Amino acid sequence: MSLKRSSSSFFIFLFSFFFLSSHVSSQACQKTCGQIPIKYPLGTGSGCGDPRFTRYITCDPDQQTLTLTTHTGSYPITSVDYAKQEIYVTDPSMSTCACTRPSHGFGLDWDAPFSFHDDTVFTLLDCSVDESPVFTPLSNGSGRVSLCDRQSSSICTFLYSNCRAISLINLQVSTCCVYVPLDLGPSFEMDLNKLKCSSYSGFYNLGPGQESHPENWNYGIALKYKFNVFDEYPGVCGSCERSNGACGFNTQSSSFVCNCPGGINTTSDCFFLYNSASILVPWFSSKHHSHTSTISSQIINLY
């Protein structure tokens, strides 16, 4: 081997060593947050997931808790169903069958990439029959009529009679109002101060035969999301995740990047990774085998 070739090989080795050493770090976009798997469009921090979701969903690195934040507060995310594109959150101030507490309500930002799931039902608790706008005075002044969902009035009966936490307060069923998300209006706002109600309860997926058992209801709020206007999962993201990468974006241009183990970003996928010996090797896949074998042999031949 000539001195010139030997020097070139040594230079390439040093370059590879220092370049790769600078990238030896944990993957910037994490695959989990606590017990919840993280997949597109969600992310664990800036530059991870879909940029439309970043300002609303975050992962606390210390507590490892996934949180949804809106203009009304921050709410823990209990689970995510990626197949159905559903997110389930809970409000610590929400009243349940086990505990009744005062609350400020819940609302979604008008430009958020979420909407209420059809199965989500809100029940306003302890509303003022005389002052709450959900009870409208009759034109003849003979009383007030409820603007609530009358077909679901049985939900109030079950809550007020079968829940010990509510029955102990001796609230009247007439002060309860079933308030479905469509009634929240275009701003998706539930302001309990304006509604003159002391608290609310949210639940979803009651399930057959569970309507009369509020102690078994799924308390929380179910949301749904879309990937984009056409609700199409981006193919480039699928390739990235199959190669053990995490879908993200360039924080300056918002263009797609694939975040690979070691903190390296690419514009496609992570099928090519650096091993601990600082030699470029493929992320093995039958689809890329012939191409990566050629590249690997070319790099090894440099030394």
pLDDT digits (tens, 9 = 90+) for 144-170: 667 787 767 788 888 888 888 887 777
Give the model confidence (pLDDT) of 187-214 as tens digits: 557 888 888 999 999 999 876 777 778 8
Task: Please check whether residue 145 lies inside any domain of the structure.
Answer: yes
Give the mean pLDDT of 78-86.
96
pLDDT score recorded for residue 105: 86
Q: Is the domain of 103 the same as that of 170?
A: yes
Q: Are residues 144 and 201 in the same domain?
A: yes
Are residue 161 and residue 216 in the same domain, yes or no?
yes
Segment 63-85 shows an average pLDDT of 94
Query: How much is the mean pLDDT over the chain?
Result: 77
Q: Provide the domain count of the chain.
A: 2
Is the pLDDT assigned to residue 50 strictly greater than 90?
yes
- Domain C-terminal end among 172, 198, 225: 225
Q: How far is CA 220 from CA 106, 217, 233, in A?
A: 11, 9, 27
pLDDT value at residue 26: 55
Pair 195, 268 in one domain: no
Examine residue 81 and state whether it is found in any structural domain, yes or no.
Answer: no
pLDDT above 90 (res 297): no
Residue in 201, 191, 166 with CA at minimum distance from that of residue 95: 201
Q: Which of 54, 206, 211, 51 is nearest to 117 (CA)?
A: 206
Please tell me whether residue 194 adopts helix, strand or coil conformation.
Answer: helix
- Is residue 298's pLDDT more than 50? no
Cβ atoms of 236 and 248 within 8 Å: the answer is: no
H-run or E-run covering 19 = helix 3-21
Q: CA-CA distances (angstroms) from residue 92 to 99, 181, 220, 275?
A: 11, 19, 9, 45
High-pLDDT (> 70) share of the chain, %: 74
Please indicate, yes or no, whether the overall pTM of this predicted structure exceeds 0.95.
no
220/218 Cα distance (integer angstroms): 6
| Residue 183 in this model has a pLDDT that exceeds 60 | no
Instruction: Identify which has the larger pLDDT, 182 or 282.
Output: 182
Same domain, 220 and 265: no
Residue 84 in domain: no
| pLDDT (0 to 100) of residue 177 | 87
Same domain, 244 and 198: no
User: Containing domain of residue 190, as a range?
Assistant: 90-225
Residue 287, pLDDT score:
42
What gap in Å lies between CA 108 and CA 224, rounded to an integer?
12
- Which tokens sit at 254? 């918002």
Any bridge partners for residue 224, and if so which? 86, 115
Q: Would you say residue 6 has pLDDT above 50?
A: no
Q: Compute the average pLDDT of residues 16-37.
A: 64
Name the pLDDT band for 273 (thresholds 50, 70, 90). Answer: low
182 vs 88: CA distance, rounded Å: 18
Higher pLDDT among residues 20 and 57, named by residue:
57
With contact defined as beta carbons under 8 Å apart, do 138 and 147 qualify? no
Residue 35's pLDDT is what?
93
Instruction: Judge whether 35 lies within some domain.
Output: no
Q: Quote the strand ranges of the chain, DSSP E.
A: 32-33, 36-37, 57-59, 66-70, 73-81, 86-89, 114-116, 121-127, 135-137, 144-146, 177-179, 197-204, 218-219, 221-225, 246-249, 256-260, 264-266, 272-274, 280-282
* Domain-located, residue 118: yes
Of 181, 202, 225, which marks where a domain is finished?
Answer: 225
Of the two residues 222 and 301, the one the predictor is more confident about is 222
Structure confidence at residue 141 as a pLDDT band (50, 70, 90): low
* Same domain for 239 and 221: no
Q: Are residues 113 and 201 in the same domain?
A: yes
Q: Per the domain annotation, does 63 fall within a domain?
A: no
- Residue 221 sits in the same domain as residue 262: no
On whether both 20 and 111 belong to a single domain, the answer is no
Out of 173, 204, 225, a domain closes at 225
